[in-house]
Amino acid sequence: MKKVLLISLVAAALVCAFALPNLSAATKAPGDMVLKAPEGMKAKKSPVAFPHGKHETMFKDCKVCHHQYSGSGDVKGCAAAGCHDKASKKEKMAFYKAFHSKDKRSCVGCHKAEKKGPKSCKQCHPKKK
Ligand code: HEC
Ligand code: HEC
Ligand code: HEC
């Protein structure tokens, strides 16, 4: 009987140990990512490799890029509803602008300002599609 209790306690402890890290998963930053246009927007360019982990190590403060992030809870993607979710380049909240504007929060904007990192189309979009 005692043995059964011990086994179930160990099992319960194991479940907790594996379940706990998930509590912080929402704010856990990804490593390497491949970014692509959201479904519904017809992509003209190939997906983009983004070493998220490397950037996170460089800048530490998540808000350098995730400028709407409150500091707790979920980090949303750039194309979240009400954010950079417009397909047309001309729109103020164009998806395109989140990555190519002069703003230092965008990929190209920061790479130009820092004079580091890829700046040409082909470097980031290696294929046409
Ligand atoms: C250099 C800019 C940059 C920094 C700094 C940065 N991120 Fe990100 N992060 C991004 C980009 C770009 C994406 C992709 C967003 C998308 O897919 O729309 C992303 C995606 C994410 C995602 C996935 C969101 C989703 O569901 O699409 C999480 C979670 C995340 N980052 C967390 C963090 C945390 C936590 C930090 C700080 C420790 C951080 N990031 C720092 C640029 C950055
Ligand atoms: C706030 C500034 C900043 C933003 C925003 C930013 N980067 Fe960078 N990125 C850098 C810097 C600085 C480097 C140069 C790192 C080095 O040379 O060690 C870099 C380097 C890179 C590299 C080369 C990595 C390597 O190992 O050589 C890639 C690829 C890259 N960035 C992609 C992106 C993409 C895609 C985005 C947008 C989703 C982005 N970056 C947004 C600052 C930024
Ligand atoms: C520093 C990296 C980087 C550079 C340089 C870059 N882009 Fe992008 N681009 C991205 C990221 C990240 C996205 C969002 C993910 C995606 O849609 O592939 C994107 C998305 C796009 C989109 C919208 C989605 C699509 O496929 O239609 C277009 C259009 C685009 N880029 C064109 C260009 C052109 C043209 C150039 C050169 C003038 C360029 N990009 C240079 C990173 C870059």
Average pLDDT for consecutive 10-residue bins of the chain (129 residues)?
53 45 56 95 96 96 95 94 96 97 97 98 89
Q: Is residue 4 part of a domain?
A: no
Task: Show the domain range for 63.
Answer: 28-124
CA-nearest residue for atom 2, ligand 3, is: 124
What's the rounded Cα separation, in Å, for the pair 93 and 73? 23
Pocket residue to mutate for ligand 2, from 83, 102, 106, 110, most atoms within 8 A of Cβ = 110
Q: Is residue 8 part of a domain?
A: no
CATH number, domain containing residue 84: 3.90.10.10
Q: Is residue 94 part of a domain?
A: yes
> 54 CB less than 6 Å from ligand 2?
yes
Q: Is residue 89 part of a domain?
A: yes
pLDDT value of position 22: 38
For residue 11, report the phi and psi dihedrals to the nearest 5 degrees: -60, -45
Index of the ligand 1 atom closest to the CA of residue 105: 2
- What is the tally of structural domains in the chain? 1
Q: Is residue 20 part of a domain?
A: no
Distances (CA, A) of 129 to 26, 36, 40, 44, 100: 31, 11, 16, 6, 18
Q: Is residue 6 part of a domain?
A: no
In three-state secondary structure terms, 51 is strand
* Cβ atoms of residues 25 and 101 within 8 Å: no
